[in-house]
Structures are given as C-alpha cells and as structure tokens.
C-alpha cells in the first residue's frame, strides 16, 4: 500500500487570500530554438497552471497556498522548494513515494505555430492520484479565493471527482475561480467539453479563451459564452491580442441584456519574448485586483499587465510589476493605455528609476 506523506509537521490551515489546487510539473526549457530532437540541453523550471497563479499572487504581495501532490523524488523536492521560494504556503502538499512527479519538455517557439512541440511525461503521476479522500479539504477551503482549472479535472476520475466537489454549491465556500484550460489531448473521452461546461457553471469567476470556447462548445462571441454560463458572478472571455471582456451577472434585473454588463479592455502592445504562461498571469492579475476590491475595468487592466510581465520573459513565471507601478498604469486614460508598449525588463524599469533618483 502506498504511504503518502505531508511536508513537515501538520500546520493549521490559516485563512489566506488565495488557495490554488492542481498539478505542478518540472518543465525543461530549451537552450536554443529548434526541434526537440535537435536541442542539445535544457534548463529546469517549474510549470503548472494553478501553482503559477499562486506564485504570481504571492510575488504580488498576497498570501497564497498551493495544494497538490508530488512524487517523493528530486523533481518533487525542486517544485516544493521553488514554489515555496515565491512565498507560497506549500505545507499541505502531499508526497507520494509510489508515483513520480510529472515533467515536460517544450521547444522555444510560440505555441500557436505548427513548429511548437511539447512532450509530457505525466501519465501515472502523483498529481493524477489526487482525490477527495486524500486531500485536506479544510486547507483547500481556507482561502478568500479558491483557484482551479480544467486541467486537473482531466487527469483522472479521482481528480474530476475532487474538482466537482470543490465547485459544488455550498454555504460559506470561498469565491471559486475556474480557468477552463481546455486541453483535448488530456481527456480520455469525448465528454471533456461537457464536463468543463458543468464545472464552469459551478464557479463564481470563470476565465475562458474565445478560441477554446469555439473549439469546446461551438460558441462564438462573449455574449454567447455568457449565455451558456448564467450562474457565475463574472465570466472573463480572453480574446488574445484583441483584449478581454468581462461580463458580470444581472442580479437586479436592471440590465437590458440578460447576460449582464460587458466591460472590454484592449490588450497592451507587448514585445513578446515567449507566449507561455500569459493566461495564468492574466488570471493572477485579475484575481489580485478582485481581492483588492477594484472595479472590473481595473481588474482587466491588471490582468493584462500581469500577462505582459509573463510575455516578456522566456519562462512561464515572471516577476510582477510593483503594485504602485501597476496601479499607475491601470489608472491611465484610454488614450494613454492604448499607447503603452511594454518590452523585456519593463517591470523593473520603475524600480530602477526610483533607485536612480535616490542615488546621490
């Protein structure tokens, strides 16, 4: 029988800003462009939609916890140490000596091109064994926001049951955030799209790309997506380089449109270094602004700013801009927002300017 251990002594599940539950893997980034067959070496990093969100929120000054399951191996050690180094609480991560930690390799090219390759080694991983019975639900519920994604639901039957449990309506649950993250290759049956729609309808905040909504559900446009998801408080439709639209819920019957009020914010002009991690970063920025009680327009703008930070670094994770820097950019008028162009190192520019002023 497999014995699963926690990390360190039991810790009381104190309330935190955000709890993120899901799979984290070690990712290997290529040393140069080219096919996986031709790349001679790789650099080790961390990857995983939910842990990415936790790391970026912790780096942005929020208290964050990641709950997951890893192998009792060196790769699992690396993930625990690396995610914990961001300030994320990893005290409720379980270690499984009978299953490995998942890993994957990818090429340097943009994921949107045919040349992009990803090789996953996650079948039978420790994360795929997550279930209701082996997860500390008290620790998972102990957040103002609980962030989940459709990736976890696709890993196994036990994982799907766990996500269903966490998205089920119940009194006193935290605000549930759900990133659809439709990954057709992960689902073992044709039921994936239907299941993802079911799970999204149980959440309070939903993030979905317009492209994945078309592929998974045959829906076209933000209004159509909102009509298919009437229950969430807010649905955020990501429209790639175009921008993002947030549709809130018509709770008082005052809106002419039953799908609520739509708020659109165009994306920023970004000199992209690598188009990976941007969706997770957008969710982190939007959730950060939500935790701070900012209006919907500013939540979208903070999502775009966090995404711009991820797009201008080679890996999945990027240091977010300082909060006051991001607040100043988010407060620009529409003309100022439209003329912003951000490139590599932009998140550090404001800090360098302050240091130069302070240096005699």
Among all residues, which ones are annotated catalytic?
280
The radius of gyration computed from the CA coordinates of the chain, to the nearest angstrom, equals 20
DSSP category for residue 89: B
Contact 325, 309 (CB under 8 A): no
CA distance 155 to 327: 38
Q: Is the dihedral of CA 5, 10, 13, 14 positive or negative?
A: negative
Print burial letters for 314-330: b (CB count within 10 Å at least 16), e (below 16).
ebbbbebbbeebbbebb
3-state secondary structure of 56: helix
DSSP category for residue 18: E
CA distance 186 to 193: 12
- Cβ atoms < 10 Å from Cβ of 171: 4
CA distance 198 to 189: 15
Tokens (6 digits) for 10:
């039991």
Q: Is the dihedral of CA 280, 283, 289, 293 positive or negative?
A: negative
3-state secondary structure of 341: strand
CA distance 208 to 222: 10
């Amino acid at each position: 029988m497999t014995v699963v251990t926690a990390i360190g002594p039991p810790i009381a599940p104190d309330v935190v800003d955000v709890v993120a539950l899901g799979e984290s893997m070690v990712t290997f980034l290529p040393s140069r462009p080219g096919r996986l067959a031709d790349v001679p070496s790789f650099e080790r990093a961390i990857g995983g939609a939910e842990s990415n969100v936790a790391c970026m929120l912790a780096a942005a000054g929020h208290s964050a916890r990641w709950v997951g399951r890893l192998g009792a191996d060196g790769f699992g050690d690396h993930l625990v140490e690396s995610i914990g180094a961001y300030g994320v609480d990893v005290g409720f991560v379980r270690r499984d000596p009978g299953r490995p930690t998942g890993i994957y390799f990818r090429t340097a090219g943009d994921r949107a091109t045919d040349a992009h390759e990803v090789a996953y080694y996650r079948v039978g991983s420790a994360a795929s064994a997550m279930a209701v019975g082996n997860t500390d639900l008290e620790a998972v519920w102990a957040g103002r926001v609980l962030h989940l994604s459709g990736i976890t639901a696709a890993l196994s039957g036990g994982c799907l049951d766990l996500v269903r449990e966490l998205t089920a309506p119940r009194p006193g649950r935290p605000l549930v955030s759900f990133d659809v993250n439709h990954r057709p290759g992960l689902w073992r049956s044709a039921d994936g799209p239907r299941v993802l729609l079911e799970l999204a309808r149980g959440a309070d905040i939903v993030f979905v790309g317009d492209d994945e909504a078309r592929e998974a559900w045959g829906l076209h446009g933000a209004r159509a997506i909102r009509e298919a998801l009437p229950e969430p408080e807010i649905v955020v439709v990501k429209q790639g380089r175009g921008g993002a639209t947030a549709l809130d819920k018509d709770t008082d019957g005052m809106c002419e449109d039953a799908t609520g009020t739509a708020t659109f914010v165009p994306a920023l002009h970004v000199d992209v270094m690598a188009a990976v991690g941007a969706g997770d970063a957008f969710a982190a920025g939007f959730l950060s602004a939500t935790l701070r009680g900012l209006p919907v327009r500013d939540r979208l703008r903070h999502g775009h700013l966090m995404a711009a930070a991820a797009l201008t670094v080679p890996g999945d994770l990027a240091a977010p801009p300082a909060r006051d820097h991001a607040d100043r950019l988010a407060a620009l008028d529409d003309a100022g927002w439209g003329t912003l162009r951000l490139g590599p190192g932009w998140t550090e520019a404001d800090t360098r300017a302050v240091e130069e002023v302070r240096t005699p």
